[in-house]
């Protein structure tokens, strides 16, 4: 009754807007475009362009393929994008508008590349939208256009990354120092050329448990590129193990352990300050698992871990992260279930997103919004930043 996951269209839009110079067209009423743009703007702090055919009541009864045609042409002429993803919504999926036919007919008349995604909100949750976009990009852009060449230096693709900002910059910087190149980030910040060049890399790293694994498997079958998915670089140890996995895979000689060792006094300091506190984690599975092991590293108790969705390897990873901990776990919960456990567990801090901020007001539990795209959370610098913010919030609230 009070779902904590959203619709397929949201996932599809979130995945496509990461691609450089891309403007999606939603074939549907204006509300879908407005609400999704609003939410994504708040989460990312960025200007986001999403166009819509803005269907009327008459359009959703009798169909509006002409309107779709006109909108695609107008978007192509006005904004000159490299890629126009055309997405159906609930109403146009129900009446069976043939967005593929319209895209096929326009292919040679517009400058942009065009892909189509069936994205009726009821078709699945957001994970279905993420996954279908990644799959469509690989099948429609990578496979037909790729060049057969191999990178001359160690090179990886990150699969299932939908947020750029300081996190991606931090990771790129550290990997460059190590001697590893990020070839393509599917999708955040990549160009169409990067997507065509995906097979150049030596390894794929899935960054999303619910949408990254299937595309990695497709790339493994098609191009024989192996993949890995664990750990996710949030936290000191998780980041160390993430970098070690890559250093070992490529047989590089880089003193990452020394970089970690230099951080030990800081880790000890945070452990001493935070050891008596409990955290609740409300996030997607990949982040939630990494955060759970991170708060344990800080000496805190992960009292509650709530995940909106789970993927193929989530439960196995969760077992590794929470071994021996007394943590209450919610999988695909409703909002009321989260509220109930928050009240029962009374955590000292919630690691979540903007949606959890009302806990600050109502229950006086501080919330750290680690979902905001401008927040640094990855790598050693991300671990330092989150630790300090957790400590600041707890100090302010509990005078620690
Ligand atoms: S559930 Fe349907 S109507 Fe609502 S935003 Fe998603 S596609 Fe649009």
Nearest to 207 by CA among 163, 241, 158, 170: 158
Q: Is 57 exposed, middle or buried (0-12, 13-18, 19+ CB in 10 A)?
A: exposed
339: helix, strand or coil:
helix
Burial class (CB in 10 A: 0-12, 13-18, 19+), 226: exposed
Q: pLDDT of 36-48, one tens digit each?
A: 999 999 988 899 9
Percent of the chain with pLDDT over 70: 100
Contact 90 CB / ligand 1 (< 6 Å): yes
Sheet holding 203-206, edge to edge: 181-187, 155-161, 203-206, 227-228
55 lines ligand 1 (CB under 6 A): no
Instruction: Assess whether pLDDT exceeds 80 at residue 351.
Output: yes
Q: Per-residue pLDDT tens for 96-151? A: 999 999 999 999 999 999 999 999 999 999 999 999 999 999 999 999 998 777 78
12 pocket-lining for ligand 1 (C-beta < 6 Å): no
Binding site membership of 33 for ligand 1 (Cβ less than 6 Å): no
Q: What angle do CA 32, 37, 41 make, to 5 degrees?
A: 160
The pLDDT of residue 400? 60
Q: What is the pLDDT of residue 141?
A: 97
Q: Which atom of ligand 1 is nearest to the CA of 8?
A: 6
How many angstroms separate the alpha carbon of residue 7 from the centre of ligand 1?
6
Quote the CA–CA distance of 39 and 48 in Å, as a whole number.
10
Q: How far apart are CA 319 and CA 293, in angstroms?
A: 10
Helix (H, G, I), strand (E, B) or coil at 276: coil
Q: Which domains does the chain have, with CATH numbers?
A: 8-124 (3.40.50.1980), 237-243+251-398 (3.40.50.1980)
Q: Among 28, 34, 40, 129, say which to mutate for ligand 1: greatest number of ligand atoms within 8 Å of CB.
A: 28
Regarding the beta carbon of 218 and ligand 1, being less than 6 Å apart is answered no
Locate 229 and state its tokens.
């998915």
What's the CA-to-centroid distance between 158 and ligand 1, angstroms?
Answer: 29
**Average pLDDT of the residues in 271-294:** 96
Extract the tokens encoding 384.
């330092």
Nearest-CA residue for atom 8 of ligand 1: 32
Cα separation, 35 vs 143, in Å, equals: 33
Q: Could you tell me if 219 and 199 are in contact, meaning their C-beta atoms sit under 8 angstroms apart?
A: yes
Q: Is residue 60 in contact with ligand 1, taking CB distance under 6 Å?
A: no
End-to-end CA distance of the chain: give it in Å, rounded: 39
């Amino acid at each position: 009754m009070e779902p904590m996951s959203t619709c397929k269209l949201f996932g599809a839009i979130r995945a496509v807007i990461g691609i450089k110079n891309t403007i999606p067209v939603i074939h549907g009423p204006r509300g879908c475009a407005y609400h999704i743009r609003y939410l994504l703007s708040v989460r990312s702090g960025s200007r986001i362009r999403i166009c819509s055919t803005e269907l009327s009541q008459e359009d959703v009864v009798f169909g509006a393929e002409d309107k779709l045609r006109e909108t695609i042409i107008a978007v192509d002429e006005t904004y000159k994008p490299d890629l126009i993803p055309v997405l159906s919504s609930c109403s146009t999926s129900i009446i069976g508008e043939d967005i593929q036919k319209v895209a096929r007919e326009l292919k040679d008349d517009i400058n942009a590349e065009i892909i189509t995604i069936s994205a009726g909100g009821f078709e699945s949750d957001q994970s279905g939208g993420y996954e279908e976009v990644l799959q469509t990009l690989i099948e429609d852009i990578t496979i037909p256009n790729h060049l057969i060449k191999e990178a001359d230096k160690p090179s990886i693709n990150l699969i299932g990354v939908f947020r750029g900002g300081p996190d991606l910059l931090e990771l790129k910087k550290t990997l460059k120092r190590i001697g590893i190149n990020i070839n393509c980030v599917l999708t955040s910040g990549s160009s169409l050329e990067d997507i065509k060049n995906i097979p150049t890399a030596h390894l794929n790293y899935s960054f999303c448990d619910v949408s990254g694994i299937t595309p990695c498997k497709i790339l493994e079958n098609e191009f024989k590129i192996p993949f890995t998915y664990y750990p996710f670089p949030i936290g000191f140890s998780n980041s160390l193990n993430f970098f070690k996995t890559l250093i070992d895979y490529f047989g590089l000689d880089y003193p990452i352990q020394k970089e970690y060792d230099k951080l030990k006094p800081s880790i000890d300091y945070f452990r001493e300050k935070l050891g008596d506190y409990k955290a609740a984690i409300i996030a997607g599975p990949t982040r939630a698992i990494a955060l759970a092991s991170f708060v344990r590293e800080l000496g805190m108790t992960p009292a509650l871990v709530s995940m909106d969705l789970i993927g193929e390897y989530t439960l196995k990873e969760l077992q590794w992260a929470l071994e021996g901990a007394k943590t209450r776990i919610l999988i695909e919960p409703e909002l009321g279930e989260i509220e109930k456990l928050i009240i029962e567990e009374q955590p000292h801090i919630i690691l979540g997103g903007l949606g959890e901020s009302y806990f600050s007001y109502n229950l006086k539990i501080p919330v750290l919004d680690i979902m905001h795209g401008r927040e640094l959370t990855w790598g050693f610098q991300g671990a330092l930043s989150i630790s300090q913010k957790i400590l600041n919030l707890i100090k302010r609230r509990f005078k620690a």
